[in-house]
Structure 1
Amino acid sequence: MARADKAAAVKEITALFNGSTAAVLTEYRGLTVAQLTELRRSLGQETTYAVLKNTLATIAAKEAGVTAFEGQLSGPTAIAFVAGDPVEAAKGLRDFAKANPQLVVKGGLLEGRAISAADVTALADLESREVLLAKVAGVLKASQTKAAALFQAPLSKTVRTVEALREKQAAGAPAAAEAPAEEPADA
């Protein structure tokens, strides 16, 4: 590779680091080109899975200010650069690794913070962003419904109490009218 080609490749990898919310470092030893193509498809449109030269990836990571992969860039290395939902990409990698044990997740980078391979697996176990947002919306709606019921409860209790007093007074009114008539008779 000519010097200009290497500089262009480093610039492109640096742009991938800077433009992604997450990056997952993998070792793909033993995977065929067809399997790598299948992996790229399973990761979705917002994830770029790039097989990289370790030296160029190291230089690009330093230029992008990424220290998460120091000492891990050895052997056949590929990085999944995630521009979209990191959970979706982590699930794609996990599911592919279950079917193809040659794919090894070494670690990752999530919003500027280094994460381990176990963290990537834990990220894959999370539900997608849309599902989590739907659950939060459900909880908020339930909380509002409970609050409305709490505010209505004292009002309805007051109405029931007033109604009970009216019924008692209505039932006790004829008896009250008879009571004064009886008292003078006893006197």
Structure 2
Amino acid sequence: MALTRKEKEEVVKALHEKFESAQSVILTKFSKMTVSQSSELRKKMRDLGGEFKVSKNTLFKIAARDTQVEVISDKFVGQNAVVIAYDDPVAVAKALLDFAKDNEVITIEGGVLNGKVIDAKGVEALSKLPTKEVLLAQLLSVLLGPQRGLVQVLAGVPRKFLYALNAIKDQKSE
């Protein structure tokens, strides 16, 4: 079923808005993907703050204009789909690579991360990074380290004074 001109314009507008608000867009090629596989991937992406979109290449190219995705618009050839990450590109890339390993119907071609082109190996490297929550926890740990050390040093002074008093008390009681 062919889309009308108005429907195409709506698809392009929606895709353009998605590309503008995306932190990363991963380009994939797919073949012989079943409806259940597609639904499974869409659900995974939605749960992680992402989206799996399939459209005509010409609509992808038009929607990519004046967005970060424009740098890879020449790669929209063949059966393409994009995975758009809005919140955590690392979690989305991990889930996509896991899906690609389990289902050989999809291959990662590359993508764009915060305006920079990445290839398939770059997407794989991105998927191996810790998630946003883990990175924030590590940062918090680093930031709290000096304060924790200061508290331990300051608590050590009265503790050592108490040990000295107990030692004096024990000496006098003998």
Task: Give the TM-score taking structure 2 as reference length.
Answer: 0.80
Cα distance in 2 for residues equivalent to 1:142 and 1:136: 10
Q: 1:132 aligns with which of 125, 135, 159?
A: 135
Cα shift at 1:63: 4.2
Task: Give the match's secondary structure for 1:127.
Answer: coil
Cα shift at 1:146: 2.9
Q: Percent identity?
A: 34
Q: 1:63 to 1:3 in 2, by over 3 A?
A: farther
User: Are residue 80 (structure 1) and residue 105 (structure 2) matched?
Assistant: no
User: Would the aligned equivalents of 1:68 and 1:108 in 2 still touch at CA under 8 Å?
Assistant: no
Q: 1:90 aligns with which of 90, 93, 96?
A: 93
Aligned-residue CA RMSD (Å): 2.5
Query: How many residue pairs align between the two structures?
Result: 162
Task: Give the TM-score taking structure 1 as reference length.
Answer: 0.75
Q: Which residue is 2:39 aligned to?
A: 37
Cα distance in 2 for residues equivalent to 1:110 and 1:30: 28
Cα distance in 2 for residues equivalent to 1:26 and 1:50: 10
Cα distance in 1 for residues equivalent to 2:98 and 2:121: 14
Q: Which residue is 2:117 aligned to?
A: 114
User: Are residue 105 (structure 1) and residue 102 (structure 2) matched?
Assistant: no
Q: Which residue is 2:171 aligned to?
A: none
Task: Give the match's secondary structure for 1:68.
Answer: helix
Cα distance in 1 for residues equivalent to 2:69 and 2:108: 18
Cα shift at 1:135: 1.6
User: Would the aligned equivalents of 1:19 and 1:83 in 2 still touch at CA under 8 Å?
Assistant: yes
Structure 1, unpaired ranges of 5+: 168-187
User: Would the aligned equivalents of 1:26 and 1:103 in 2 still touch at CA under 8 Å?
Assistant: yes
Cα distance in 2 for residues equivalent to 1:129 and 1:81: 16
- Please give the per-residue CA displacement for 1:96-150, whole angstroms capped at 9, x wherever unaligned: 0110122111111112222211111111111111111112222222232334556
Q: Which residue is 2:27 aligned to?
A: 25
Cα shift at 1:10: 1.2
Cα distance in 2 for residues equivalent to 1:54 and 1:63: 16
